[in-house]
Each structure stands twice: as structure tokens, then as C-alpha cells.
Amino acid sequence: MKTYSEELFDYIQTTCKHANVPGTAVLVTEDGRTIHEQMIGYRDVDKQYPVTRETIFGVASITKSFATLAIMQLAEKGVLSVNDPVSKWIKDFQVSDPTFDEEITIHHLMTHTAGFPGMEGVHLARMNSVENDSDGKRLFSLDPAEYDQRLENVNDLVEWLAEADYDMLARPGEMCNYSNESYALLQAIIEEASGEDILTYMNRNVFEPLNMHDATFLVDDLQEAKDVTELYAYADGEEKTFEHSPVWWDVGEIYTNGSLKATAEEITAYAQMYMNDGKYQGNEVLSKESVEQMTRAYVHAPNENKYGYGLQITHENSVFGHGGAMKGVSSYFLVDKENHRTIVVLMNIAEAPAGDIAKGIQNYFVGEQEEIKPIDCPHLEQYVHTFRSKEGQTVKTFLHNGKLHMKGKWNDIELMPIKEDLFATKGGLKIAFLREEGEVRGVFSGMRYIPRVDE
């Protein structure tokens, strides 16, 4: 009979092999000690350099929780309040509907409820690095040739938000939609409230007390690192073959939405801080009250996902985490305070199952995977549409052998009806269709609303 370690090892190894992931780092702790460590594959496939717990990976949107942590630190000091209007800290802040300019608060930014649609603002700051990447056009969700504007920093983004042509989705607080622009704005608030640039602030107040000495937002810093991963991308086509794609994408001087690079050991230290109510090795990074605020479910999305401050919530104040995905990055970290467990999974390729593995490890220990019970749905054709946002997400739904499928850029998944307008994948992810005047007008996937387009 296999031990739990052998079963877990086989599960992770098989999942990575099936997805053809070049390199993966997995660290699991209980009560502060490592109970499972699995380094799979290579940080550099050509040179056969193995992944280690000290290998620096991109972590993409795990970065968002670092931004909200900084906001909570400043709130603890009385410098700001999460209920402050954004306009208090960003003097030129304006959106397309001027009636919202004074209504949008820091809380709305942190919970993705400011009312922003999917838009290309942050992407316009990413365009320069994409254009310098020979794989950029193939891998990026937007074609840089179709956009003549480029943004360099948060000030440029603030100006763009005031002038761009877009409709707000809803009044602040009424609707959730995952927004990189919201998290970019948090950078400006942190800098204004602290009186420091974001790099200095994060180094002094977050990275140093967590002993995250390799963590960085800057691609240039990677040139000096001894143990840093190369980046890879899946080739086009049905087979999951991958290619070396070495260029790191940045977002100009915007860092707080997804630019962090760190090791599995460092993200584990970060997770341990939440486990210990804001403390790490004698350093108080956050108060217990701030941790509880961050891990409260403020948002209950149409697909039953929940969100706090930069964290996806499974059980309020108890089980939470966040994932990340961008070119050369698939990441996930999870904290289970009730069982004193942290899980970190980092990979060096996009569209890989980091989140599935983290949740699979969690389900292995707690045995709580929800049973999917499909219901009859006789008129599936009503859900067959194309959905697209200006941020670049495009999904198409279609019928195949009498079942509803959803296809994105890289995958084709079957959707099983479980409630009215609510579907689930075999892996348990839930997809909701939203209606206006009885008609399906959008789909809610992950934490994103993607509107229907007529083709």
C-alpha cells in the first residue's frame, strides 16, 4: 500500500506529465514544517538545470495580495482608510461616467467592484515588452499592431482612464469584474499615502520582514540571479508541446497587478505569515484584525466564487489563496488555517494546472471535493454564443454530441448544467451565464464578466 507521500507524489507527477510542464515547484507545510516537497523538471530544459525551492519564478496575480497587504499596513497606521474615495489619493482620477468619480473607493478597487469592464489599459503598458518578443504576437491576447498608444506608468493609466472610450459595467459595489486596472491604481495610492516609491516600500515593509531576499518586481534584477527559471510556451496545435520563449513581459513601471518574481520558499513564507495571523519569525507584518479583513468574503460572484482583499476565499477567514497566469507563469498559493497547512505551486509555462494541483493537494487532505450533479437542460442552444472583452478574453460556446462546450485560446472544456444558468466543468470550476431582459448577454468565468458579442 502506498503512503500518502507516494500517492501525492504520483498525483502531482502525473498531472505535470500530462500537461507537459517544463518545470514545477511544489511546497506543502503543516504547522510550519515542510511535509511535502516536490521539484519536477527543469528551470532550464536545454541545460538540464533542475528546479529547486530557491528557483525564482514569476508569480503573476499572486502579486495582487501583496498590494492589498500594503494597503492594510497603511490603514493600520491610520494613514488611509479602505473606505477612502480613490480621488482623495489620486487627484486626477476620473472614469468614463463622471458620477462615479467620487464614489469609487479603495475597497472597491481591492474587491474588483469599482465597475470597470474588461479593458486594455494595463495591456497598453505591457505592449512594449510584447513587441520586443518574437513570440509576442502569437501569445498575447491582443495584437499590438492594432494599438497606437502605449502607457509607461500609473500616471499614464490615470490619464487614459479619464479619456478612453468605455462604459462602466455598474455602479461601484454592484458588480464584480476582475480588474488589473484597479490593482494598478493601488500602486499610486500606496506611493502617495506612504511617501515612498512602490519598490522601496515593498522592500522595506514586506520583503525584508518576510526574508524574501530574492523577490523582485524588476526583470532587470533577474540578470544577477543565480537560480532563475527560463520561460516556456505551448506551441500552437492540439499536442501540448512546448518551446523555449525567453523574453519576460513587464508592464512598464506598473508593478502591483502582477509583476512579482519569487521562489517557492518565499511564497511559502508569505503564506505562513497569514497562517500566523500576520506574524513571521517574530516580525509583525500585519495585525490579526487586518488578516481577518483581507480574508473576509466581500464578493459572492454569480458563479459562486468568493473574493476578499486580493484573495480568493474558499472558507471565510480560514481557507484562501490566489493564482496567477501570464506568459511563462502558472502559479497558486493556498492557506488552510484550520488545518495549519500551506500549499505553493509554481510553474514556468502559462495555461498549466498550478491551481488544479494546489486544490487537488488540498482535497487529498480534507476530502471535500464537491460532487457535481448535472441536471437536465433541454435548450442548451440558448447558451451558444461568442463572448469577448476588450481585455482580450475570447470564449466560444458550442454544442457537441448534445453537450455544451466552451473553447478558449488553448482549451476545449465540457460544461455540465448544475443550476439554472450555472454550469460546471469536470474539475469543478463553475461558469455562470448572465441575462438581460431574458437574453444571455454575458458569461462569468473565474472572476471575470465577458460580454456577448454578435458575429
Q: Kindly report, residue by residue over 300-326, the tens digit of the pLDDT.
A: 999 999 999 999 999 988 999 999 999
- State the Cα–Cα distance between residues 191 and 441, nearest whole angstrom: 39
pLDDT at site 5: 79
Identify the CATH class of 1-369: alpha beta
Q: Is the pLDDT of residue 102 over 60?
A: yes
Where does CATH 3.40.710.10 sit in the chain? 1-369
If phi > 0 it is left, if psi is from -120 to 50 it is alpha, else beta; for residue 333 that is beta
**Span(s) in the chain for CATH 2.40.128.50:** 380-453
pLDDT at 161: 98
Asked if residues 121 and 218 have their Cβ atoms less than 8 Å apart, the reply is no
Name every residue whose Cβ is closer than 8 Å to that of residue 67 and which is 6 or more positions away in sequence. Answer: 183, 186, 187, 190, 256, 257, 310
Instruction: Answer for the pair 267, 56: CB distance below 8 angstroms, yes or no.
Output: no
What φ, ψ does residue 75 adopt, rounded to 5°? -65, -40
pLDDT for 410 equals 62
- Counting every residue written for the chain, the total comes to 455
Q: Kindly give the residue spans of alpha helices, DSSP state H, lying in 173-332.
A: 180-194, 198-202, 264-275, 288-294
Inform me whether the pLDDT recorded for 1 exceeds 50. Answer: no
DSSP H or E stretch at residue 322 = strand 319-326
pLDDT given for residue 326 in this prediction: 96
* Higher local confidence (pLDDT), 337 or 371: 337
| pLDDT tops 80 at residue 361 | yes
User: According to the model, what pLDDT value does residue 371 have?
Assistant: 78
* Residue 15 pLDDT grade (very low, low, confident, very high; cuts 50, 70, 90): very high
**pLDDT computed for residue 408 by the predictor:** 78
Those residues with Cβ within 8 angstroms of residue 287's Cβ, 6 or more apart along the chain or in another chain:
76, 277, 278
Instruction: Give residue 237's pLDDT band: very low, low, confident or very high (50, 70, 90).
Output: confident
CATH hierarchy code of domain 380-453: 2.40.128.50
pLDDT exceeds cutoff 70 at 3: no
CA distance 154 to 160: 10
pLDDT one-digit tens code per residue, 432-447:
999 999 999 999 999 9
- 266 contacts 250 by C-beta, under 8 angstroms: no
Which spans in 111-230 are helix H?
A: 121-131, 136-139, 154-163, 180-194, 198-202
Residue 211 φ/ψ region, left for φ over 0, alpha for ψ in the -120 to 50 degree band, beta for the rest: left
The mean pLDDT value for 200-212 works out to 98
Above 50 in pLDDT, residue 390? yes
What is the chain's mean pLDDT, rounded?
95
